[in-house]
Amino acid sequence: MEGVVFGTKHSKDYGAIMNYARISPPSVKENYVDIAGGDSDIDLTEAVGGVVFEDGQIDFKFTLFDGWKKERMKNDLHGRRMRITLGRDPEFYYEGRVKCTGDSRNGTLFELCFVSKVKPYKCEKRETIYTETVNYGTKEIFLINSRMPVMPAITVDGDISLVYEGTKYRMKTGTYQIPEITLYEGRSPVKLSGRGTVKFVYRKGQLI
């Protein structure tokens, strides 16, 4: 059974058969300014540093054979915000609030419909971890990221200087998250110097 996991509960825990899980991709947050007396518009969609998105949506329909389990599933899920993992896409999770939108019976069969408004990115379950040791030299490394911008947690043991997008950061032993060090899609070059070990931890995400 393919099914889906809501939080820690699998749909099979309720004896539910998933008829479908339909994903609606997120809309782009577009921003256009009209040019009075002129052709076309000015597109300001990326004026603040890149394209941003509305939430996406997943619609679910389940068939159940037990009225008590149907009620338990509805009460466990309705109104709760949780991680959602589809059986057909087990390496990623979605995050959103689940709402019951339909509850019906046809003879001995029961049907439940849910909708979840989810973040525009599905996240990898496994974090990306990159560790590098520097010994009084300079190294250039490349951190690879997917579509979702992410701010890595940087853990330093020693005394390390880090250069990212032309700005130098001096880091001693500790853990840092710096808004200016945000990874975007592709390969991001980082220069390291000093002495010690530095570890980057982040979670990649793809558009749903």
The alpha carbon dihedral of 38, 43, 48, 53 has a sign of positive
pLDDT tens digits, 96-148 = 999 999 999 999 999 999 999 999 999 999 999 999 999 988 999 999 999 99
**Burial status of residue 14 (CB atoms within 10 A of its CB: 0-12, 13-18, 19 or more):** buried
Residue pair 84/10 in contact by the 8 Å Cβ criterion = no
pTM here is 0.88
pLDDT tens digits, 137-180 = 899 999 999 999 999 999 999 999 999 999 999 999 999 999 99
Instruction: Tell me the domains of the chain and their CATH numbers.
Output: 4-124 (2.40.30.200), 128-207 (2.60.120.10)
For the chain, give the mean pLDDT.
94
- ∠ CA 94-95-99, nearest 5°, is 110
Whole-angstrom distance, CA of residue 160 vs CA of residue 198: 8
- ∠ CA 84-88-94, nearest 5°, is 25
